[in-house]
Each structure stands twice: as structure tokens, then as C-alpha cells.
A = this chain, B = another copy of it.
């Protein structure tokens, strides 16, 4: 066994021991620890900023792009924002201990299903150092131990942040090794984590497609994925023109670089002559490039021809593919075939059509007369968001604190036997 493998195994063993201690903490104790973690960040502000300056300098030497370097950079203000965010998490309701169901069986056995921590969660992520704090803090709030493995660019920042959180938390009773950062940034360490199912109950990759692919291929434990978002808006023949324009413009342009942004617009063929010119001027005002089929090209000034590849492309940019469809069934079939099961919205005044769309699209969040941008933990009122799951098991759509929990059954009897 390599040194890296041995070290990661030791981290796993320690995380499991921490998890068995974490389960004993009350909500009040956890919230005290969270505030102490925020204090830890403030106390360690200087070493954290120094470590970050080292990462930034290395990134600049390596010639990383300016947006990449900016994502890496911490300032006294952004560090204070991270600390304040931890204090905010302390104020959120604790899902652990929540009773999910309760029943008494004819033989008198009382069965209670309650929310409990998952145990040990592995988080594998790329550049942004604030993920170190966000992920560790939300996992801790729900009683989980974490093993964090960040990207090489933010290595010194991540190490300093994780130490500050763990050491700060320990002042208020955080069990040892509750938050651990993997001291390796090579790919081998990802593989060792992903195979360690005796200690890791869940692994969450947060990063690009190739990282997610690697984890999915190797992992023996459950993986919660946040794949790409190829989201659709469908303008049904009974769509209201004003709502249609508002929703399309907002879904496409309010924040084009995120997963819940609109990528493909489907439009009923009857609407083409009137809606396309109106949409064209509204989107031209926002500098959106449009790629469409033959009908689109007829009615939409400046539209370019679409290719087959466009239908499954997540542009994350001011580009929109547009397809003309004859029926609601055709729209649903297109979405289920080319989409990423993330967010899909119908615009219509026809309730029957809307219900059919909501139920037949195989998507995490199906919408009626609303912008795709509302698929978001904050907009759903979750208080905190870990990500948006494109999986169908355990968590689908926006993930809040409850999605970082498992459950168990407590069965109480007075000597029952079978």
C-alpha cells in the first residue's frame, strides 16, 4: 500500500470515530461550535490570508487566467463574509432528530423514523477556497464528519481554512478530526477516497465533468452529482406573449453562467410568426446569439442554423438554441431525450397542458409560468444549499440540510417476540 493510501485510510478511520462522537451533540452544542468556528476563522485571518497570497502568487506565476485567479483570491472582507455565513448556519433549524413518521403496530411495537446524520462525507472540489468552509460547515451542522479534498491551486488556503475551522470548533467541543483536509492534490488521492467505502458513506464531487466522471467510475459508495443543466422553456400554443418574453429573457440572461439558466427554447409552431419576431428583439437587446431550425430562420432576424449537437449543449453563455414543435408531446419527448433532467418550464394559460407537462417531463424541477432560475435552494426557502442534484436517488433538485441526513428506525417494545 502506498503512503498516500495509508494516510487516507487513517483519515477515514479518524473521521468514523469523529462521526460516532458527533452523533452525541445536541443542536445547541452544534450551534455553539459553529460560532466558535466563525471565531476560529477570525482568529486565524492572518495565516489564512498569507496562505492565500501564496496560492495567488503561484497561480499568477503559472499563468492562470484572471477569472481563475479572482476566484481563488480571499480578502479580509470575503473572509469576514465566510465567517458571517457560518454564524448564519448556526441560526438555521437542525433537521437531525426530526421525526419523519411514527406508528404503533398491532403487537404494541412503537416504530419511529427519525432523521440522523449520514456519518462521514467526502467532498472533492476544485478551485474556490470558500467551498472548504461552506461544505464542512453544512456537513457539521447536520452532524457529519467531513474529509475534504480541494484542488491544487487553493491548497495552502484550504489547509489554513480547514485548520482554523477545526481548531476554532474544538474550543467549543468539536470532536477531533471532524473536519480533515487531504494533504495531497494528485488524482491518486481521489481514487483512494472513492474506494474507501468502509469509512466514507457518501462522496460529493463538486467540479467539472471530468472530475465527476472520474469519481462516478471509481466510487464504491453513493455519489451525489451535480451534473450540467440543459434546461428548457416550452412556449405552448396557449402561452401569454408577455409572460413568455419575460420568462425567456430572465431564464436566459439573468445569470447565463449557472446551471439553471435556459439553454434550449421550444416553441409551438402556431406561435412562430408572432412570437419569434417579438422574442428576437427582446433577446437582441441582451446580445443573445440564437441558433434555430428552419422555421426559426424564417421568422427570427439574425438567427443562425442549429446543429444536432446544440440540443444537448450547456452553453453557460449568451447563446440560445430554439426549436419549433408541433405538439406538447413533441416538446416533452425532446426534453426527456436531450435535456439533463434539471429544470424545465412550460409557459401556457392552459391548465391541462401545464399539468401534462409537469408530470411527463422527467426532470427534477418542472415549472409552469416561471423562470428556470428559480431552481435554487435559496428560492425554495431551504436556508442553505449544498448544490442541485441531477440524481434521482436520495436527493433530487436543490439540496438543503435535510439532504445531508439519513434516517434510522427506533423500535420500542416491552418484550415482543415473533
Q: Give the interface centre of A109, A222, A246, A415 by most chain B CB atoms within 10 Å.
A: A415
Residue of B nearest to A416 (CB): B370
**In which size bucket is the chain A interface?**
35 or more
> Contact between A367 and B411 (Cβ–Cβ < 8 Å)?
yes
Q: Which residues of B contact A367 (CB under 8 A)?
A: 410-413
> Contact between A368 and B408 (Cβ–Cβ < 8 Å)?
no
User: Which single member of B20, B254, B354, B416 contacts A418 (CB below 8 Å)?
Assistant: B254
Q: Does A363 reach chain B (CB closer than 8 Å)? A: yes
Q: Does A111 reach chain B (CB closer than 8 Å)? A: yes
In the assembled complex, the CB of A352 is this many whole angstroms from the nearest CB of chain B, namely 14
Q: Does A391 reach chain B (CB closer than 8 Å)? A: yes
Q: Does A250 reach chain B (CB closer than 8 Å)? A: yes
Q: Does A12 reach chain B (CB closer than 8 Å)? A: no
Q: Does A362 reach chain B (CB closer than 8 Å)? A: yes
Q: Does A119 reach chain B (CB closer than 8 Å)? A: yes
Give the contact stretch, choosing among A158-166, A292-300, A374-382.
A374-382
Q: Does A282 reach chain B (CB closer than 8 Å)? A: no
Evaluate whether A406 and B379 lie within 8 angstroms (CB atoms) in the complex, with A23-B362, A216-B220, A242-B415 already known.
no
User: Which single member of B369, B379, B411 contacts A415 (CB below 8 Å)?
Assistant: B369
Q: In the bound complex, how far is the Cα of B415 from the Cα of A246, in angstroms?
A: 7
User: Which single member of B391, B411, B415 contacts A222 (CB below 8 Å)?
Assistant: B391
> Contact between B414 and A363 (Cβ–Cβ < 8 Å)?
no
Q: Does A396 reach chain B (CB closer than 8 Å)? A: yes
Evaluate whether A411 and B20 lie within 8 angstroms (CB atoms) in the complex, with A216-B220, A374-B109 already known.
no
Q: Which residues of B contact A394 (CB under 8 A)?
A: 222, 393-394
> Contact between A409 and B362 (Cβ–Cβ < 8 Å)?
no
Copy number in the complex reads 2
> Contact between B254 and A374 (Cβ–Cβ < 8 Å)?
no
Evaluate whether A393 and B417 lie within 8 angstroms (CB atoms) in the complex, with A111-B380, A412-B370 already known.
no
> Contact between A412 and B368 (Cβ–Cβ < 8 Å)?
yes
> Contact between A413 and B369 (Cβ–Cβ < 8 Å)?
yes
Interface residue ranges of A70-106 to B (CB < 8 Å)? 103, 105
> Contact between B373 and A418 (Cβ–Cβ < 8 Å)?
yes
Q: Does A61 reach chain B (CB closer than 8 Å)? A: no
Q: Does A290 reach chain B (CB closer than 8 Å)? A: no
Report A109-132 CB contacts with B as 1/0, cut-off 8 Å: 101000000110000000000000
Q: Which residues of B contact A386 (CB under 8 A)?
A: none
> Contact between A393 and B373 (Cβ–Cβ < 8 Å)?
no
User: Which single member of B103, B363, B391, B413 contacts A381 (CB below 8 Å)?
Assistant: B103
> Contact between A366 and B409 (Cβ–Cβ < 8 Å)?
yes
> Contact between B220 and A217 (Cβ–Cβ < 8 Å)?
yes
Q: In the bound complex, how far is the Cα of B412 from the Cα of A367, in angstroms?
A: 6
Interface residue ranges of A383-418 to B (CB < 8 Å)? 391-394, 396-397, 406-418
User: Which single member of B243, B379, B408 contacts A397 (CB below 8 Å)?
Assistant: B408
CB-defined A-B contacts under 8 Å, sample of 14: A105-B379, A105-B381, A109-B379, A222-B222, A222-B394, A243-B414, A246-B417, A363-B408, A366-B408, A367-B410, A369-B415, A371-B418, A373-B417, A393-B406
Residues of A within 8 A of B (CB): 19-20, 23-24, 103, 105, 109, 111, 118-119, 197, 201-202, 216-217, 220, 222-223, 240, 242-243, 246-247, 249-251, 254, 333, 336, 354, 358-360, 362-371, 373-375, 379-381, 391-394, 396-397, 406-418
